[in-house]
Structure 1
Amino acid sequence: MKKMLKGLGAALCVALPFIAQAPADAATPAATGAADQTLVQRGAYLAQLGDCAACHTAPKGKPFAGGLPMNTPMGRIYVTNITPDARTGIGGYTEADFARALREGVAKDGHNLYPAMPYPSYAKVDDDDVKALYAFFMHGVAPVQQANRESDIKWPLNMRWPLMFWNMAFLEKGAYRDKPGKDVAWNRGAYLVQGLGHCGSCHTPRGVAFQESALDESGSAFLSGALLDGWFASNLTGEHNTGLGRWSDEDLRTFLKTGANRHASAFGAMTSVINNSTQAMSDQDVAAVSTYLKSLAPVGGTGAAAYTYDPQATKVSLDRPANDAGARVYTAYCMHCHGVDGHGFAPMLAPLAGNPNVLAKDASSLINVTLNGTGDLVIDGVPSPFPMPGFAAVLDDQQIADVLSFVRAGWNNGAPAVGAAEVAKLRQSTQAGR
């Protein structure tokens, strides 16, 4: 669901298994009775589905205490403390206050929240789940006294009242309603994807007012892929090349539980999504999400013919790398992991041949991951042994452009070349402050 649009959603990452029972004192609600612990536990699970910790827990910070910086076109904002501390958190919120903030983007004191909080998606969360989430945040989270930090946005752009008009234009109120003619699994998957999972916050393109272009499958742009914070969030529709058209139901379920399959591996923000959210989903919910996503009609893509694997031309280049600048870089730095055939060693090492991220028109993700690498996938507590390293200090802009152009043309991928200027731009934006 993390900077500008990552904060607007960044797709499914969330609560770590660190929550302690809050003690009953003057700053926290009274401890719940045994009968309510089931509700608290259910709320903890829903918080994982809802991406709460990913945005409200800063690196090395205390759970849900806020402080995470997010970049927006207007300036930097800082995520708020949502622990049950009465002074600096949400300890004074009633369930109605909590529901209004969650689903309408309005805080207890009446000020509007920035839509970095994905409340347009959370608007679809039903009352029972709101109740469970409230129980969790009031009784399952340790209170932390940590004052919220004002945004760096300058006046007059920091005024909140215009957000009322943004909400009037783009916020669709009302919990998700089951679609007639669809089975239980499809509707459960739709509820999770559109609501708590807020997948559209990252994977749906945005309009001129930074609103999601569509909030469900009735809009043609829904989940068709979008650029955010230096990454291109993948197309999740049935598009054959850049989407999920070639993925089986098992492929998708495997990816959600482990972050890798025979087609691709998670990187960027999706790594934390896998680590902290989707791997914790119940098998039933994973199956429901897969059922819904696999039902989406193909949209987006590049308009290219359906991908078919062909290694011949690429093999010739790799046999004589001195004749091809991209092949030289590939043989020196990439081939030992991704192979001469481009198949890698899936799922441990990602394939490049036919990988939807390689075929995408926007090469931002490929540039970013080549420059900066990606974090470890940690499944059941075990880190992946082969994370993608970053090459920003090893390869210059032209070398990275050459190797990515080689990869995007190789094995019949047929994707556009990458220019050195594109690499330089992302290098500057992603390396700043490192």
Structure 2
Amino acid sequence: MPDFKTVFWSFLVGGTVLGGLSAHAARAADVDQDVMNRGAYLATAADCVACHTKQGGTPFAGGLKIATPMGDIISTNITPDPDHGIGKYSEHDFEQALRRGKRRDGENLYPVMPYVSYAGMTDQDIHALYVWFMHGVKPVAETPPATQLSFPSNIRLTLSGWNMLAGSEKQETGDSATYDTLRRGKYLATALEHCGTCHTPRNVMLMEKSDQYLAGSPLAGWYAPNITPSKTGGIGDWSEDDIVQYLRTGRVKGKSQAAGPMGEAVEHSTSHLTDADLHALAAFIRQVKPMEDDADHQPRDGFGKANDAPDIRSGELTRIDNLSHKSPANLFDANCAACHGQNGAGTVDQYAPSLYKNSAVGAGRPDNLIMTILMGVNRTTADGHASMPAFGSTGDVQRLDDEEVASLVNYVSKTFGNGSYNVTADQVAQVRKNNTPH
């Protein structure tokens, strides 16, 4: 999303909005620049832009439709516009929203807002965030559509009970910038980056299972995998430098590539953290309690090898006569081999990654492979732009139907992964239906 990113980072240059309203810029000039810079960095680390910006919209103006088991929740405008955003919020109001999930009018926020995690933030960091949002973000006079959930989810008062049972992170104290490595890493993981929001499984009441921290969880069609240091179910075979590289660039050769929500998190958040913070975050993750996995019994990136079958385009043309148009081999040849190679090795520079030694292909769950084929990859960092077309559709045209996607997923898994999938067309149809923008 280059255009979106260009707009977004124009908001952060120098800690102020370039080209904003003159009165707004004048107020920003009166604010301590160190506090502004700290607030801008914290907003990036907390990835506020991810949920509060719709596709193609103005950063922080809200309007993103977030799918939840309760229904679609529409994110709000958090620019300092007094009538459409949070311009009338006092610092106390702001703190209550971040830490307690309370709107200025006293109503409960839906817990898709990770206030359970943000509760761990220090007073100093809350203050810096407030200053930056009020003086470093341009007001936007747009009101997103209101969230419309069915009964009883539309009764926000019921969330008071949920909040009491769910608990929250313990508030940290002192200057978070001076924490030692592991304390800083824990602060980043549990409060700012709120890793558990996606990677920790939830119970029937949608509360995080604290005893299974980072053990993996479904996420809007994708699967946020087990990232504990388990050597079988998690990323115990990753070094600290591997984790840092992944968070900075979105890829580690022979292991994994970030797509979907994680690709967005890398693009807009983790790739902009300092080296010290990336290493702190990685060091903390490497020492959490290892959790085994019901689906993964060996490293996800430990499966497969190059396919040594003859290339159906390389002279053995008689093979084509025995293959239907929708045969798995022909589907792979027509849609995947041009970039990933007939042998699955990818390009020399791994811009198109290898399909073996690949965590999406080797995972015991097919979710991420299905979603990658349907939705593609679009991730930009300082390392460059990673792109894969969405084979689910191109505009209004469906490129691969449900049967073809299922066949391709099973073929890729059998040829380059653990071969355990038996994905059906109906399964792909349900995934497509639940995750197509509407």
With structure 2 as the length reference, what TM-score do the two structures score? 0.84
| CA drift at 1:155 | 4.3
| CA drift at 1:138 | 1.0
CA change 1:134–1:15 in 2 (3 A) is farther
Q: How many angstroms apart in 2 are the aligned matches of 1:213 and 1:127?
A: 27
CA change 1:399–1:60 in 2 (3 A) is closer
Q: How many angstroms apart in 1 are the aligned matches of 2:7 and 2:46?
A: 9
Partner of 1:46: 42
CA change 1:372–1:411 in 2 (3 A) is closer
| CA drift at 1:33 | 5.4
Alignment of 1:338-357 (within 5 A): 338-345=340-347, 347-357=350-360
| CA drift at 1:188 | 0.9
- Residue 254 (1) aligns with residue 245 (2): yes
CA change 1:184–1:168 in 2 (3 A) is same
- Residue 17 (1) aligns with residue 14 (2): no
* SS, match of residue 349 in structure 1: coil
Taking only the aligned residue pairs, the percentage that are identical comes to 35
* SS, match of residue 16 in structure 1: helix
Q: How many angstroms apart in 2 are the aligned matches of 1:105 and 1:127?
A: 16
Q: How many angstroms apart in 2 are the aligned matches of 1:317 and 1:240?
A: 35
Partner of 1:5: none
CA change 1:61–1:336 in 2 (3 A) is closer
Partner of 1:7: none
Partner of 1:275: 267
Alignment of 1:80-229 (within 5 A): 80-172=76-168, 174-176=170-172, 184-214=180-210, 219=211, 221-229=212-220
Q: How many residues are paired up?
A: 407
Partner of 1:410: 415
* SS, match of residue 251 in structure 2: coil
Structure 1 alignment gaps of length 5 or more: 1-12
- Residue 423 (1) aligns with residue 436 (2): no
1:99-120 CA deviation, whole Å, 9 max, x = no partner? Answer: 1110110112111100010100
CA change 1:78–1:432 in 2 (3 A) is closer
CA change 1:282–1:45 in 2 (3 A) is same
Partner of 1:304: 297
| CA drift at 1:318 | 6.5
Alignment of 1:68-87 (within 5 A): 68-87=64-83
Partner of 1:4: none
Partner of 1:6: none
1:192-248 CA deviation, whole Å, 9 max, x = no partner? Answer: 01111011111111111111112xxxx2x2111111111111221123355322222
| CA drift at 1:257 | 1.1
Partner of 2:14: none
* SS, match of residue 232 in structure 1: strand
Q: How many angstroms apart in 2 are the aligned matches of 1:304 and 1:185?
A: 31
Q: How many angstroms apart in 1 are the aligned matches of 2:145 and 2:305?
A: 54
Which of 281, 291, 308 is matched with 1:289 structurally?
Answer: 281
2:297 is aligned with what amino acid? A
Which of 361, 364, 388 is matched with 1:361 structurally?
Answer: 364
Contact 2:361 2:416 in 1 (8 A): no
CA change 1:332–1:240 in 2 (3 A) is farther
1:29-76 CA deviation, whole Å, 9 max, x = no partner? Answer: 981555611101110010001111111122232221212222333333
Structure with more contact order per residue of length (Cα contacts < 8 Å, sep ≥ 6): 1
- Residue 336 (1) aligns with residue 338 (2): yes
Q: How many angstroms apart in 1 are the aligned matches of 2:190 and 2:7?
A: 19
Contact 1:265 1:347 in 2 (8 A): no
With structure 1 as the length reference, what TM-score do the two structures score? 0.85
Contact 1:49 1:278 in 2 (8 A): yes
Q: How many angstroms apart in 2 are the aligned matches of 1:288 and 1:173?
A: 19
| CA drift at 1:167 | 0.6
Give the stretch that moved more between structures: 156-165 or 338-347.
Answer: 338-347
* SS, match of residue 112 in structure 2: coil
1:314-342 CA deviation, whole Å, 9 max, x = no partner? Answer: 53487778579433322332223223443
1:367-409 CA deviation, whole Å, 9 max, x = no partner? Answer: 121122122x22239533x424424423332222222112222
Q: How many angstroms apart in 2 are the aligned matches of 1:142 and 1:256?
A: 29
Partner of 2:236: 245
Q: How many angstroms apart in 1 are the aligned matches of 2:304 and 2:22?
A: 65
Give the stretch that moved more between structures: 250-259 or 353-362.
Answer: 353-362
Partner of 1:370: 373
* SS, match of residue 275 in structure 1: helix
1:264 is aligned with what amino acid? S
Partner of 2:315: none
* SS, match of residue 31 in structure 1: helix
2:241 is aligned with what amino acid? E
Contact 2:244 2:279 in 1 (8 A): yes
Partner of 1:395: 400
* SS, match of residue 17 in structure 1: helix
CA change 1:306–1:414 in 2 (3 A) is farther
* SS, match of residue 73 in structure 2: strand
* SS, match of residue 390 in structure 1: coil
CA change 1:270–1:418 in 2 (3 A) is same
Q: How many angstroms apart in 2 are the aligned matches of 1:281 and 1:119?
A: 21
Structure 2 alignment gaps of length 5 or more: 12-16, 313-318
Contact 1:237 1:296 in 2 (8 A): yes
| CA drift at 1:24 | 7.2
- Residue 66 (1) aligns with residue 62 (2): yes
1:399-431 CA deviation, whole Å, 9 max, x = no partner? Answer: 222221122223463433322221121122233
Q: How many angstroms apart in 2 are the aligned matches of 1:130 and 1:380?
A: 28
Contact 1:261 1:347 in 2 (8 A): no
Q: How many angstroms apart in 2 are the aligned matches of 1:212 and 1:50?
A: 19
Contact 2:117 2:169 in 1 (8 A): no
Which of 251, 257, 260 is matched with 1:265 structurally?
Answer: 257
* SS, match of residue 112 in structure 1: coil
